[in-house]
Structure 1
Amino acid sequence: MKFRPALVLLLAFTATCAFAQSAADLGAGKARKAATWPLAPTVGEAQAAQLSARFLTRFHYDAQPLDDAMSARIYKAYFKLLDSEKVFFTQADMAKFAPLKTKLDDAIWNQDLSAPFAVFNLYLQRAVERMTYARELLKKGFDFSADESYTFDREHADWPKDQAELDDLWRKRTKNDWLRLKLAGKDDADIRKTLDKRYAGYIERVRQLDGQDAFQTFMTAYAETTDPHTDYLGPRAAENFDISMKLSLEGIGAVLQARDDYTQIRELVPGGPALKSGRIKVGDRIVAVGQGDKGAMVDVIGWRLDDVVNLIRGKKDTTVRLEVLPADTGLDGKHEMVSLVRQKVSIEEQAAKKKVIEIKDGDVSRKIGVIELPAFYSDFGARSAGDKNYKSATRDVTKLLGELKQDGVQGVVVDLRNNGGGSLAEANSLTGLFIDKGPVVQVRDSRGEVEVQGDDQPGMAWSGPLAVLVNRGTASASEIFSAAIQDYHRGLVIGEPTFGKGTVQNLVDLDRYAQGDSEKPELGELKMTIQEFFRINGGSTQLKGVTPDIEFPKNGDDKDFGESTYENALKWTQIAPADYQVVANLNAYLPQLQKLHAERTAKSPAWKLMLDELAQYRAMRAKTATSLNFAAREVERKQLEAVQADFRTRHRAIDGSDASLADDAGSLDDGLNANERSLKSELKQEKDAKKAKDVQLNETAHILFDALGMIKTDPKLASEVLPYGGKDSGSLAAAPAAPATPKPTH
């Protein structure tokens, strides 16, 4: 699970917190919560930086000294976070910054962060200057008959050599924004209004960046320089991380997003106070927040989303009052006052879910159960406090498996696509649901000592045929689970090669080690790599990930997504295997399953459509530049529209939806940023996407269908491929040892 500073999102022009107007455009009484510039570090932040350095240089799994060499790496990472596209600073700026390459270590050790804050303050100044310049360009318009191009992928570019080159870069950047809207059918007046509003909003977002953002960005640069998965979490980020692990919070039960100048209700959580009240609806805009029954109402129009969220969250059983502009009224509509009592709210959207897929082939029909697990979550605090109903991925999956049995399923797919990991203990206990007992993972610490962790509870929650569906986004704890299932031959791993994160992180609460008596969290937390985990067969998932038994086509993201894309990733290693025995021999029918899979997908219109969409997606991702000539771009657009029309026609014929994977590549570009579209259209798009046929999941279920057919017709084969020779899970304690078969070395 990776935290990125808010600044990175802002620079990408796709931040959730988007504000539409400049301060000068606001009417009376619409106050913005803006930071005071120049930003300066606090004593607590300086202390947090030094404390982090003490931990990282002594207790990190691959501890490295904080010296001039590390300073140079922090310097590189810091500027990559600030100006990854090299569109704000010039070579002259970088020449002035160059002496800092060997001084950032001293800044941390001496608790003097003035230098990194000075860099951040200049970034803020440059960002406002650039967007102000872009707004001026809009007044003149552009000539789209010239034959010139704009390189939008500047990862390997140099910083502009001078102001003239920087101005030309922004001229092309702004011209491209205008051209995108023009190609989408907007007239010049509408384009000018849309872009001026966009750039003014960007200026306001920059002006609302505060000292916490500056410190968070600098500390992220330091933490990630040690290894890709070590992070510094400021107080705001630490709270959100805690929520993501326990899947609950104390609040009103509403998903919020910033749109134009307002905080808008995007979704209501089932069972939450907002939904139960019957007075809050999707699309409503929050204009003010008050605490308790009589607290003053605070105007939040134009505020950062996280600041508004901070006002609305609070302790259970306390009251919060919202002044709301209903979704179905205009900006001058009548406001409503809604009083809500905060409660503990479960975030069920990120919890494990189940469904049943019925696969038919001729006269044969079989039910395949699917468990979708977005993360390995666990409410550690509730568990430690003795709460019998604490939230846990293993507990939820156990319950779902029982329900799937009642549904009469014959095979189970555990869908771990885009599951970025979470609790190592949950990965261990979840594996125990599918094996009798035995080791699950080996963990090595910085001293080289290896601990074997496993399941010591006899019996299985599911003893039938099993498949694990993975992709490039399957990482960390998900890879532990997938690797153990594969090493035991307990189930088939199907999909794309996984992420390749083979390290374990631990949270260090810096406030516990600080000098001071403040009860309020001030210094944040350090998420530090302390161990490396290994498969029970001795190999690491680090870098290599888990290679599926049956591979699906890659989407092309592996070039810029995955452990292998990090310059400072730990190398792959291996240790001695753990003492374990495979529980089956899936090699007995794997070749035949692969053959049936290949034959079926070769004839499948849905599979062919998926391959064509992936090819289109890869082609779009491979582009690094685009023409700024209207006629040339219009030809391109018509070609792309024809491709998309074909995709939509094929989708409707297959599943009745208009969803297309290639839409994500921008081939049907409307020129708008996400926050500039209506919430209604955005929610409709998401709904349509959910209706689209999940080709990979269906094919995985069909592979299990094939496996079940072979098992039912060949008792000898069944004894080989079913766990423990097909013995019932209730009598596994007395089951004979599994036949000795070679341990796979995926």
Structure 2
Amino acid sequence: MKKILLVALLVGGHLMAQNNASPCKILSKINALIQQEHVHPKPVDDSLSVFIFDNLINDLDSGRNLFYKSEYDSLSKNYRLQIDNLVQKEDCQFIATFEDIYQKALLRNKLLLEKLNKDSLNFNTADTIRMYKKAFPVYMTEKEFEKIWRKKIRFDVLNEVAASSKNLDSIRINLKSLTNYYKEIAIQNELCKISAQLKKKSTISEKVYGFFCTYFDPHTNYFSVNSKSNFVSSLSKEKLSLGFLVSLNEKNQIIIDDIDPNGPAFKNGKLKKGDQIISIANEQETLKVTCASLEEIGDLIVSDANKIITLTIKRKGEKNFSVTLEKEVLKDEQNSVYSYLVEDKNKIGYIKIPSFYSNFESNDKSGCAEDVGTEIVKLQNDDIDGLVIDLMDNGGGSMEEAIKLAGLFVHHGPISIVVDKSQKQQIIQDPYRGYLYKGPVIILVNGNTASASEFFATILQDYNRAMVIGSSTLGKATMQTILPTDSNEENFVKVTINKFYRITGKSHQSIGVLPDVQVPVLYESIIQKERDYPTAFKNDVLPTSIPFTPYVKNKLIHHLTKNSQKRVTASSYFNNVVSMNKRIDELIKNPKTIIPMQIETVFEEQKLVTTLWESINSFKDESISLNVKNSSFNESLLKVYPSERAFKETQILALKNNHYLNEAIQIINDYFVLK
């Protein structure tokens, strides 16, 4: 130990100088790349400094219980308007200063929490706590430090106690023992989080790189080698996987939700659906679930760099046990196109496109468009009369795949206008002559439908080639590419290089694709949209449009829309969605700003949340029993691959009660009557 310390002291100054220079060199290269490639680069000035500084503070101290006001004021005075100048001078000492103050504050909190763990807390004190919806000023002084943390722990404990039972009288009777029990858990969880942060290598420099990029627009981002690999992998239908899916339960515990019968978790044989994951380890570190953020946990599980993972599992009635799994390349069923047949008055094909995936790093050019084409051929073998394409929750992906997919439905002609940094307009043409499918098409969208999926939906909507139903989409009409900052290829930027417009000259940027039929969607008002990001591009319109010929007359679209809207307005299901959204809005968008810290009040607040959650869960179960089944071709495939039948049956069960699919079918039925 003494020898290591001596070496550190001897070389410390040299290492610090290298570390100070390195972030600035990376920032300089990031800026050079953005200025050269970005569709609308901004100058590096005081507004960038403010953006980076404010976002960094909010990220490090979102609860305002870490930094003293004096520390914030000092940082603000020295850096809030100076980061741009320091970066240009290649002086990034401010990053080390942030790291020092951050580490100091974490250690300070750790010592206080250890003290509070030994102290008794009075849960009968008449007091209140203030809630904030957005970031609020740093206000904590040295004198208020302990008071603020005592209040936070007391409130966290009361929340846990209130959630422990539905019987308030029982809670009152056992209040002392319950508060003692949950106080120790609450403090240990906070200490665990702090210890994890103290052990971690500094990430402040990477946060600065990230905020530097998102200053230019929300979709320009910094990637390390590992994060770039993870991002590209997420847009593929095959990836390294442990072979299971997880979900969060009402207690924010990570639960194994489903196990792939072809994956390593199933082959291992020790894991069961419903198991709780309490810690995750790779070959270098172990993360306790209660100590880490969901982002950190997700990175550890998903990262291609972590091929061997050890899970510690908690199962009711058994001792905790560990399972070590080695990832295998698996087909990602959740990120692969699939199709079903629905028999109503007409035969309707249904195709779900989870994302516009592509094999970016392979010579194999097959991707989403080819897979959709395959499913269309399968459905046409069953003589379908119409087609429903589900783009709900499709966050986009490859623009090349979206262009190819549009070509399967448009005979020929222009499909989009792309504008680059020089404002040069390029007209994108349908890549194929003719089309694979020419029957009626309905596209389902919601607030999470974004980017490439919006691009595809606008093309078919402008040509009257499809009707779009659902809620307004995200509103992203930009294209990105991933570029290395230099030849070393250790740092990358996903940079926005183009804006795209509809062939009418209009854009859905910031406003989203407006459906032909607005259908209420659960949670739609709280989904974050493009317009909610402070650096998002504003909506604009090109002064020119391109001649094209719609496939169906607007009069027919008008009648179909009118009939559909009548059904939606009269639907008890969709009226219940509207009612449920109002309750969600009231709870989330308009929370009580001041809450008395008494068990009765906290219990009532918990009851509101629990009741709403139970209502949502029971509400989703409303049955309409659509006649959904496998296409003849896919049914024959299941005889060859019987292990996939259970997964298919789960999908069919969900679709049987899909009210959006039901309304799409009614529109297609109307189409044949009106036509």
Question: What TM-score do you get using the length of structure 2 for normalisation?
Answer: 0.79
- Aligned counterparts of 1:655 and 1:490: Cα–Cα separation in 2: 28
Q: Deviations over 1:356-415 (max 9, x none)?
A: 3444xxxxx334322222221111221xx2x3xx44111111112222223443222222
Q: How does 1:633-652 map to 2 (within 5 A)?
A: 633-638=602-607
What residue in structure 1 maps to residue 162 of structure 2?
Answer: 183
How far off is 1:492 after superposition?
0.6
Residues 570-592 of structure 1 deviation map (CA, whole Å, 9 limit, x = unaligned)? 22222244534233235323343
Amino acid at match of 1:355: Y
Matched, 1:497 2:472: yes
Residue 629 of structure 1 corresponds to 598
Work out the CA distance in 2 between the residues paired with 1:201 and 1:486.
52
Do 1:414 and 1:469's aligned partners in 2 also have CA atoms closer than 8 Å? yes
Alignment of 1:254-269 (within 5 A): 268-269=259-260
* Unaligned ranges ≥5, structure 1: 1-36, 291-296, 315-319, 360-364, 515-520, 657-686, 719-746
How far 1:223 sits from its partner (Å)?
A: 0.6
- Aligned twin of 1:249: 239
Q: Is the 8 A contact 2:21 2:92 kept in 1?
A: no
Structure 1 residues 162 and 245, CA gap change in structure 2 (3 angstroms): same
The one of 422, 425, 442 aligned to 2:397: 422
Evaluate the alpha carbon distance shift between residue 692 and residue 205 of structure 1 in structure 2; reply closer, same or farther with a 3 A threshold: farther
| 1:345 equivalent in structure 2 | 330
**2:387 equivalent among 409, 412, 422:** 412
Match of 1:163 among 121, 139, 142: 142
Compare 443-452 and 265-274 and name the one that shifted more. 265-274
Q: What residue number does 1:89 align with?
A: 67
- Tell whether the 8 Å contact from 2:312 to 2:321 is kept in structure 1 after alignment: yes
Deviation at 1:425, TM superposition (A): 1.1
Letter in 2 for 1:524: N
Structure 2 counterpart SS, 1:452: strand
Unaligned 5+ runs, structure 2 = 1-14, 166-177, 626-648
Instruction: Specify the alignment match of 2:8 in structure 1.
Output: none
- C-alpha contact (below 8 Å) 1:255/1:267 kept by paired residues: yes
Aligned mates of 1:60, 1:450 — CA distance in 2: 16
Q: Residue 469 of structure 1 aligns with which residue?
A: 444
Question: What is aligned with 2:99?
Answer: 120
Provide the C-alpha distance between the structure 1 equivalents of 2:301 and 2:148, rounded to a whole number of angstroms: 36
Classify 1:82/1:538 alpha carbon distance in 2 versus 1 (closer, same or farther; 3 Å). Answer: same
Aligned equivalents of 1:472 and 1:324: distance in 2? 34
1:355 equivalent to 2:340? Answer yes
SS in 2 for 1:469: strand
Describe the shift of the 1:352–1:127 C-alpha distance in structure 2 as closer, same or farther (beyond 3 A): farther
Q: Tell me the secondary structure at the aligned position of residue 215 of structure 2.
A: helix
Residue matched to 1:666: none
Partner of 1:16: none
Deviation at 1:84, TM superposition (A): 3.8
Q: 1:79 to 1:447 in 2, by over 3 A?
A: same
Judged with a 3 Å threshold, the aligned counterparts in structure 2 of structure 1 residues 44 and 243 are, in CA distance, closer, same or farther, namely: farther
How far has the Cα of 1:418 moved from its partner? Answer: 2.1
Q: What is the alpha-carbon distance in structure 1 between the residues aligned to residue 152 and residue 300 of structure 2?
A: 31
- 1:509 lines up with 2:489 in the alignment: no
How many Å apart are 1:480 and its aligned residue? 0.9
Aligned CA distance change for structure 1 residues 461 and 313 (closer, same or farther; 3 Å):
farther
Relative distance call for 1:194 and 1:406 in structure 2 (3 A) is: farther
CA–CA distance in 1 between the matches of 2:614 and 2:231?
41
Are the structure 2 counterparts of residues 279 and 591 from structure 1 closer, same or farther at C-alpha, using a change threshold of 3 Å?
same
1:65 and 2:65 aligned:
no
Change (3 A) 1:423 1:648: closer
Does structure 1 retain, via aligned residues, the 8 Å contact 2:624–2:656?
no
Q: Deviations over 1:28-53 (max 9, x none)?
A: xxxxxxxxx99994765443222101
- Cα distance, 1:562 vs. partner? 1.3
2:245 and 2:521 map into 1 onto residues whose CA distance is 33
Q: In 2, are the aligned partners of 1:444 and 1:531 still within 8 Å (CA)?
A: yes
Q: Which residue of 2 aligns with 1:80?
A: 58
Instruction: Pick one of 604, 607, 611 that aligns with 2:574.
Output: 607
Distance 2:227 2:435 in 1: 38
Judge conservation of contact 2:397–2:451 (CA < 8 Å) in 1: yes
RMSD, aligned CA: 3.9
Q: Of 567, 580, 587, which residue of structure 2 is paired with 1:620?
A: 587
Q: Secondary structure at the match of 1:158?
A: coil
* Alpha-carbon separation, structure 2, partners of 1:432 and 1:603: 36
Partner of 2:121: 141
1:173: Cα distance to partner?
2.9
List per-residue Cα deviations over 1:675-724 (Å, max 9, x = no partner). xxxxxxxxxxxx999967787x524532442343342x45xxx3xxxxxx
Deviation at 1:524, TM superposition (A): 2.0
> Does residue 53 of structure 1 match 2:43?
no
Structure 2 distance, partners of 1:311, 1:573, is 40
| Matching residue of 2:509 | 542
| Residue aligning to 2:228 | 238
Distance (Å, rounded) in 2 between the aligned partners of 1:472 and 1:337: 38
8 Å contact kept, 1:501–1:545: yes
Please say which of residues 186-195 and 537-546 is displaced more in the overlay: 186-195
- Partner Cα separation in structure 2 for residue 404 and residue 144 of structure 1: 66
Distance 1:181 1:300, change over 3 A: closer
Cα distance between partner residues in 2 of 1:353 and 1:563: 28
Question: Which amino acid letter does the alignment assign opposite residue 574 of structure 1?
Answer: V
User: Which shifted more, 124-133 or 569-578?
Assistant: 124-133
> What residue is the counterpart of 1:173 in the other structure?
152
Give the TM-score of the pair, scaled to structure 1: 0.72
CA contact (8 A) 1:655 1:693 kept: no
Q: Do structure 1's residue 708 and structure 2's residue 672 form an aligned pair?
A: no
Q: Which amino acid aligns with 1:74?
A: I
**Matched residue, 1:29:** none
